[in-house]
Structure 1
Amino acid sequence: MRSLTLLTYFLLIALFAKAQGSGGPEQKHLIYFTDKKDSPYTLEQPALYLSAKALERRNKQGIALSVRDLPVNPSYVSGLKAKGAKVLYTSRWFNAAVVQCPPEKLAELQSLAFIKGTQQLNRLPASPTGKKGTQSNDSLKLAKASFDPSYFGPSFHQSNMLGIPELHAAGFQGEGMTIAVFDAGFPGVNSVNAFAHLFQNGQLKGTYDFVGNKKDVYGHSQHGTSVLSTMAAYEPGRIVGTAPKADYYLLRTEDAATEHNIEEVNWLLAAEFADSVGVDVINSSLGYTLFDAPSYSYTYSELNGNTTIITRAADLAAATGMLVVTSAGNEGNKAWRYISAPADADSVLAVGAVDSLAVHALFSSVGPTADQRLKPDVVAMGQQVFVLSSSGNLGRSSGTSFSGPIMAGMVACIWQARPKLTNMELLQLIRQMGSNYNNPNNTIGYGIPTYRRLVTGLEDELTTGISITNPVSEDPIVLRMDENWQRENALARLYDASGKLVHTQLLRANQAVHTLNIKSSRLKKGIYLCQVSSASRNATLRFVRL
């Protein structure tokens, strides 16, 4: 079914489009339709537009199909073409079409009864200008790297910071999970030895260039190649990515030479495609705030989770059960400072960057969102990360473009280990695994997630409604309770690994946060159990004293 869906998409693209990058004086517009009435597509026959894997993802998470999932009405597309409009793509989620036409033709289209509204996607300047957006600010200085004979090679530290070696050793390397990578090009992926396993094992499930309307993505910016290497590369002793056994789709949405709103729509279309073929995780090392003059740029006040095209698209992607992992941005030490879209979306995992010492990287964008929500969600190593170039050379590069995919690979492996979680439960679990979970901020969010926290029983917190500080060093030991626990008094009993009771404490009702009256410095290093019981419920939590 997946191959049939891919074929359907490519046939639609061939039917509706000529090359997007073909140039010409005509501008591109997003044309919104009024409805999806009298369409040949129905909710009762989803196999016509969604793969079996896509439907399985929805069913597993209890996500019902809606009218939003239906393709646009083909008769509306035919109506646009009958008026002489060039239809490039259509969007299920926005119920819209991307059209290229001159101003006089746009005015004619706007008079059609099935047109709800239009939005301009690009403006043509009098002369070419350099790219001024926020996406391409990652440094890519590929210096010669020293050889490391260990399995992960020089890439060990960036993975070890998240506990990836232990995660892989436990048998979770991304098998059965599918990751879509949205970027600006993937030159060399089809020839570099570290990616050969993707082709040999059938892990590369598909490619598409939404900028040029073609399947070949092995050109243009090597940014995507370097991003992919942090997840998918497999060359033991040199570089091993965080999810080398996952399946991948490589989708080009970004034109690295310019910055216009059309790239947000490319992202939307790629997300819809990813949904249709059954992708589990989207990695997007892209972010938008400022656009090339004279195109419209966003202001900080518009990063409120509901305004930008790409942010709305990201939340719609999450609504289908995919987990969207996006880079926070590289504006932390610049005038803008804040995250970029779609990192402001409320249903995505926005990833900032730290250096090798786990210290916030100065370039990593900070929060909050314009409506005062905490961002980024978590952080990973993004400064002087080991990546591959399009020629296969190993070197170091910096940017949240790399902390994001390092995290995306980990997310895929964790989901493989905990397949019953929904995407939103997984997102919350990753936050809870963070080193800064008990004291999150708008610099590093919930901190650095580590696999160690998961194996000490953190996943139980999702179903028990109660959590405890984990791991513990010199900080206070804190219990957090949901509203169900707060309804009555409870008793906490703390036991060491030998079963010895080391602390007992009454937890008063109507209180969400309880600090245990025992200094963590009094506890020996090791694993501890905290049993919490009330008249109606019981829970056992585990934590590590470091």
Structure 2
Amino acid sequence: MRLLLLFICLLLYLPVSAQDAGNTDGEGQKRLLYFADKHNSPYSLSKPLEFLSPKALERRKRQNISLTTRDLPVNPAYVAALKDAGIKVWYTSRWFNAAVVQCSDEQLQQLETLPFIKRYRTLNRLPIQTEELHTLATQHAVVDKSDENSLPVPDREGYNLAFHQADMLGADELHAQGFAGSGITIAVLDAGFPNVDKLQPFSHLFEDNRLKATFDFVLKQENVFGADSHGTAVLSTMAAYAPGLMIGTAYDANYMLFRTEDAASEHNIEEVNWLMAAEFADSAGADVINSSLGYTTFDSPSQSYSYADMDGNTTIVSRAADFAAATGMLVVVSAGNEGNKAWRYISAPADADSVLAVGAVDSLGVKARFSSMGPTADGAVKPDVVAMGQRVYFLNASGGLAQGNGTSFAGPIMAGFAASLWQEFPDKSNMELLKLIRRSGSNAATPDNSIGYGIPTYERVLSVLPLLEGEVQALITNPVYQEQVILYLAEEWLQQAVEVQVLDATGKEVFAQRIQQPAARQALALQPQALQAGLYLCRVRSGSSVLTLRFIKL
């Protein structure tokens, strides 16, 4: 596990016990067994309520996502055969068609002879003896009231010192419009949530039935309110509601809290825990996954990854993240804190192509030195966007306001913003929302591997939305002051070179530019300070298509 957070404040670390260390003797090791098929299973795509909740099916229906065999649980006959062979089964995975088991090397040799076992991977974790859990989809009843009364909208003073990190994205403007994530469920995958059940800024989660599920995939128990305090800090940037102390970016949302990380060590089992939590989130009807976790290197003897593995298709967790996105959930992950270290690059699952990977900037919008860089190993631009991640305010496990650095904060701040935005535009699919957030970034014209598409804002979302919905073909900054003039172009205008002319009110040309490779958001090279106050026309031509826009220089 790598927690993508650098605390300025003091943290307490638990010592590593002998039981927590990765073992090498093979006795009782955890393995991921892949099954050969899902043939002759009692489960059927025609009876999805046997393995998915109504909310999970509603999410798919809303986004026109069809069920596939990947959604089917594993064949229970295969699981029964493993038990009959004396194998302890911990979890089963629908998406990977696999089971997490505990077995010795000798037992593994016997398992490899079974016709339904395709292959295996050793996860190198000693188990903690607890009660067995097989099917995650039915473990927790998701209470679904008609989404709870919204909390009073805070004023600026209500955010206290956390105002700027919300205001940088325009989350406070969303809140003022009545959109703070109500009706959206965010699953938070982290290393523990100590005292969340006791601290007043989280009390609304319990009083208003906003906490929909909890599970600790490390200890196999429902209680997640212990272990590492990283999750409490992360959660506060989204969910906190304590006017005068701190307000999170999606304080009105519902939450699911899942512990997938053991902060004392780093092994591949934590990727599998992430997979299990994501499947649980899917089956229980979550809309957004937030994860401030990243994977590159592991404790021996677990297998570490190289930069070449950061291609979005190799690591367990990146494949899991893409599968999660395929179900219609918006997956928001932190990019990593290796930007000023030898590794330098993003970590998994930030390399997955269907996730929103979030880097960090300071309060002035300048990239934080520690924020991990792109591209992915296969050349994709990463991070996707950035948010404030340097000197961010959060709540510690004692309920006090603290300050720290890390993409761990940038990710959930962005996830809360996205959830609030999705409340306003519920007809959007997860990928449409991801695209909208990218296109609304401050660097959308020239995305790079430092800050990606830049800092998205609610104001720019409202500007580019008509383009994405096909209501208009182009937009331009209006009015113009002394900042750059920005031309926004619809998709069909991005396929070939365009010619741009700016004419004054008399029809005289004051500026002309040919754009060989138009971007979604193009900063024009004219100098606004040289323009006289008045009305201007901007004529855009591509082939036989011509349109004219008007703007005013003040």
Normalising by structure 1, report the TM-score.
0.84
Residue 229 of structure 2: aligned partner: 222
- Of 252, 259, 268, 1:252 maps to 259
Task: Say whether 1:327 aligns with 2:334.
Answer: yes
Residue 414 of structure 1: aligned partner: 421
Quickly say closer, same or farther: Cα 1:22–1:47, change in 2 above 3 A.
farther
In 2, Cα distance between equivalents of 1:529 and 1:440:
28
Moved more, 486-495 or 20-29: 486-495
- Of 471, 475, 488, 2:484 maps to 475
Residue 459 of structure 1: aligned partner: 465
Counterpart contact for 1:123–1:294, Cα < 8 Å: no
CA deviation digits over 1:309-364, x for unaligned, max 9? 00000000000010100000111111111111000000000001111221111111
Aligned-residue CA RMSD in angstroms? 3.3
- Of 90, 93, 101, 2:92 maps to 90
- Of 325, 329, 338, 1:318 maps to 325
Moved more, 22-31 or 532-541: 532-541
The total of aligned residue pairs comes to: 500
- Of 444, 455, 458, 1:448 maps to 455
Following superposition, the deviation at residue 382 of structure 1 comes to: 0.8
In 2, Cα distance between equivalents of 1:452 and 1:149:
18
Counterpart contact for 1:290–1:298, Cα < 8 Å: yes
- For 1:459, the aligned partner's letter is L
In 2, Cα distance between equivalents of 1:186 and 1:170:
30
Residue 143 of structure 1: aligned partner: none
Residue 78 of structure 2: aligned partner: 76
Counterpart contact for 2:493–2:518, Cα < 8 Å: no
- Of 163, 170, 174, 1:156 maps to 163
Residue 142 of structure 2: aligned partner: none
Moved more, 293-302 or 536-545: 536-545
Following superposition, the deviation at residue 394 of structure 1 comes to: 1.1
Residue 42 of structure 1: aligned partner: 44
Quickly say closer, same or farther: Cα 1:509–1:336, change in 2 above 3 A.
closer
Residue 389 of structure 2: aligned partner: 382
- Of 106, 110, 113, 2:112 maps to 110
In 1, Cα distance between equivalents of 2:300 and 2:21:
20
CA deviation digits over 1:259-316, x for unaligned, max 9? 1000000000100010011111100000000101221100010001100000000000
- For 1:520, the aligned partner's letter is P
**Secondary structure of the corresponding residue to residue 270 of structure 1:** helix
Quickly say closer, same or farther: Cα 1:235–1:485, change in 2 above 3 A.
closer
Following superposition, the deviation at residue 491 of structure 1 comes to: 8.5
Following superposition, the deviation at residue 537 of structure 1 comes to: 8.0
CA deviation digits over 1:448-475, x for unaligned, max 9? 11111123x2112213395557697543
**Secondary structure of the corresponding residue to residue 150 of structure 1:** helix
Residue 120 of structure 1: aligned partner: 122
- Of 171, 177, 182, 2:178 maps to 171
Quickly say closer, same or farther: Cα 1:448–1:291, change in 2 above 3 A.
same
Counterpart contact for 1:469–1:477, Cα < 8 Å: yes
What are the residue-to-residue correspondences of 1:31-70 with 2, within 5 Å?
31-70=33-72
In 2, Cα distance between equivalents of 1:152 and 1:264:
35
In 1, Cα distance between equivalents of 2:248 and 2:549:
32
Quickly say closer, same or farther: Cα 1:538–1:222, change in 2 above 3 A.
farther
Counterpart contact for 1:533–1:539, Cα < 8 Å: yes
In 1, Cα distance between equivalents of 2:438 and 2:35:
38
- For 1:299, the aligned partner's letter is S
In 2, Cα distance between equivalents of 1:96 and 1:282:
22
Quickly say closer, same or farther: Cα 1:512–1:214, change in 2 above 3 A.
same
- Of 513, 525, 528, 1:520 maps to 528
Counterpart contact for 1:89–1:98, Cα < 8 Å: yes
Residue 205 of structure 1: aligned partner: 212
Following superposition, the deviation at residue 391 of structure 1 comes to: 1.4
What are the residue-to-residue correspondences of 1:356-375 with 2, within 5 Å?
356-375=363-382
Quickly say closer, same or farther: Cα 1:460–1:519, change in 2 above 3 A.
same
**Secondary structure of the corresponding residue to residue 331 of structure 2:** strand
Unaligned runs of at least 5 residues, structure 1: 1-19, 125-147
CA deviation digits over 1:156-186, x for unaligned, max 9? 1111111111111011100011100000000
- Of 408, 426, 432, 1:425 maps to 432
CA deviation digits over 1:477-529, x for unaligned, max 9? 44545347758989988899xxx999899999996457757543356899999
In 2, Cα distance between equivalents of 1:527 and 1:328:
43
CA deviation digits over 1:63-97, x for unaligned, max 9? 10000000000000001111111100000000000
**Secondary structure of the corresponding residue to residue 152 of structure 1:** helix
Unaligned runs of at least 5 residues, structure 2: 1-18, 127-154
**Secondary structure of the corresponding residue to residue 469 of structure 2:** helix
Moved more, 531-540 or 468-477: 531-540
Following superposition, the deviation at residue 256 of structure 1 comes to: 0.6
Following superposition, the deviation at residue 390 of structure 1 comes to: 1.2
CA deviation digits over 1:216-239, x for unaligned, max 9? 000100100000000000000110
In 2, Cα distance between equivalents of 1:522 and 1:217:
60
Poorly superposed stretches of 4+, deviation over 2 Å = 20-25, 463-496, 500-546
In 2, Cα distance between equivalents of 1:231 and 1:215:
22
**Secondary structure of the corresponding residue to residue 274 of structure 2:** helix
Quickly say closer, same or farther: Cα 1:487–1:184, change in 2 above 3 A.
closer
Moved more, 503-512 or 277-286: 503-512
Following superposition, the deviation at residue 151 of structure 1 comes to: 1.3
In 2, Cα distance between equivalents of 1:397 and 1:426:
29
Paired-residue identity, %: 58
In 1, Cα distance between equivalents of 2:451 and 2:515:
32
Counterpart contact for 2:325–2:355, Cα < 8 Å: yes
Normalising by structure 2, report the TM-score.
0.83
- For 2:340, the aligned partner's letter is N
In 2, Cα distance between equivalents of 1:41 and 1:502:
71
In 2, Cα distance between equivalents of 1:354 and 1:394:
20
Moved more, 42-51 or 485-494: 485-494
Quickly say closer, same or farther: Cα 1:169–1:545, change in 2 above 3 A.
farther
In 2, Cα distance between equivalents of 1:419 and 1:219:
34
Task: Say whether 1:308 aligns with 2:308.
Answer: no
Following superposition, the deviation at residue 535 of structure 1 comes to: 10
Residue 352 of structure 2: aligned partner: 345
Quickly say closer, same or farther: Cα 1:334–1:233, change in 2 above 3 A.
same
Moved more, 208-217 or 439-448: 439-448
